[in-house]
């Protein structure tokens, strides 16, 4: 990619770190930013661990991992990130938060900078509308974990230019990813299909049709899924699952997308899955144990 050399990444959760890993390994200079300095430092430690796992599995040589890590730096302000060739927002799945980031970022952008959101469900057109460059704005939805999963959804907003689309698609391919085009409708393709299935699994638990273990076992062995839907929900984060269901419910006005009350209750309790230590499984012991 001759036009993209520096990639700014805003948000240092699991997705931000994963995207940074993929970009750095593919030869791009990466600038990470988060408003919380502690999260930023934790992200660098997570990145080191991610690269070490690739070396241990012989997917990278020690020299390649060292070179990739050297390409990653941190920015202390939106101003420093704003000079990147492409900026990928990977913050929490909250439209207000994402819009505030893009509004704050806009005054610091170079004329040629492209913007992308890693949102898994929110309208690209709406996010682009708060910037000064909706034609240079696109959705770039990496799957989790980004260093492992091969797919990237590419979502054009109503104003996204053909040039932006072609540049971003070529960029994704340069990361050794396969792209799929999705229209700018709630949750796009993957989560439009996947998350309602997870929500239905939670309803199945809520209604007493099966236990946590029986539901996950049934889908792993009966549908050949690598991970049961409740285990997958914990991996994604129950707050993320709920946010996507709310986007679907509000955006499509169809009762089939109503979030399960049990999902809402778990999120209210702060039981968000792996990242909080408890969700449909309790992860605080030696092995995960169902919580229902």
Three-class secondary structure of residue 157 per DSSP: coil
Question: For 278, phi and psi rounded to 5 degrees?
Answer: -145, 140
Give the CA radius of gyration of the chain.
19
- Averaged pLDDT for residues 251-280: 96
Q: What's the pLDDT at 123?
A: 96
| pLDDT higher at 37 or 184 | 184
- Averaged pLDDT for residues 29-38: 91
Residue 21, pLDDT > 50, answer yes
- Averaged pLDDT for residues 130-152: 96
Q: How far apart, in Å, do the first and last CA atoms of the chain sit? A: 50
Which neighbouring-strand residues pair with 142? Answer: 152
- Averaged pLDDT for residues 52-62: 94
Q: How many CA atoms lie within 13 A of 9 on its CB side?
A: 29
Residue 80, pLDDT > 90, answer no
Q: What's the pLDDT at 35?
A: 86
- Averaged pLDDT for residues 282-289: 95
pTM for the model stands at 0.89
Q: What's the pLDDT at 77?
A: 86
Domains and CATH numbers, the chain: 6-182 (3.40.50.720), 191-290 (1.10.1040.10)
Q: What's the pLDDT at 76?
A: 79
- Averaged pLDDT for residues 204-224: 97
User: Contact 163/200 with Cβ under 8 angstroms?
Assistant: no
Residue 2, pLDDT > 80, answer no
pLDDT more than 70, % of the chain: 99
Q: What's the pLDDT at 1?
A: 44
Q: What is the pLDDT of residues 39-50, one digit of tens each?
A: 899 999 999 999
**Which amino acids are annotated catalytic?**
120, 141, 153, 191
Q: What is the pLDDT of residues 59-72, one digit of tens each?
A: 999 999 999 999 99
Spatial separation of the C-alpha atoms in residues 187 and 183, rounded to whole Å: 10
Residue 269, pLDDT > 90, answer yes
């Amino acid at each position: 990619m001759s036009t993209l050399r520096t990639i700014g990444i805003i948000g240092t959760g699991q997705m931000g770190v994963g995207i940074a890993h993929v970009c750095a390994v593919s030869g791009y200079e990466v600038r990470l930013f988060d408003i919380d300095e502690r999260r930023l430092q934790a992200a660098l430690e997570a990145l080191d661990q991610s690269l070490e796992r690739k070396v241990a599995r012989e997917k990278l040589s020690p020299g390649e991992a060292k070179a990739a890590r050297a390409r990653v730096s941190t920015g202390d302000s939106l101003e420093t990130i704003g000079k990147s060739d492409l900026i990928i927002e990977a913050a929490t799945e909250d439209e207000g938060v994402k819009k505030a980031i893009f509004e704050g970022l806009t005054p610091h952008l170079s004329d040629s900078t492209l913007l992308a959101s890693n949102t898994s469900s929110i309208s690209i057109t709406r996010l682009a509308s708060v910037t000064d460059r909706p034609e240079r704005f696109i959705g770039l939805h990496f799957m989790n974990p980004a260093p492992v999963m091969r797919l990237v959804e590419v979502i054009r907003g109503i104003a996204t230019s053909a040039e932006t689309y072609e540049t971003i698609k070529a960029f994704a391919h340069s990361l050794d990813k396969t792209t799929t085009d999705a229209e700018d409708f709630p949750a796009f393709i993957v989560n439009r299909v996947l998350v309602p299935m997870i929500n239905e699994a939670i309803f199945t638990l809520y209604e007493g049709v099966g236990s946590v273990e029986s539901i996950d076992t049934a889908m792993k062995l009966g549908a050949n899924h690598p991970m049961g839907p409740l285990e997958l929900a914990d991996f994604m984060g129950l707050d993320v699952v709920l946010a996507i269901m709310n986007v679907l419910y509000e955006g499509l006005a169809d009762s089939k997308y109503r979030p399960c009350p049990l999902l809402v209750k778990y999120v209210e309790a702060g039981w968000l899955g792996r990242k909080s230590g408890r969700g449909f499984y309790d992860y605080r012991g030696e092995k995960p144990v169902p919580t229902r």
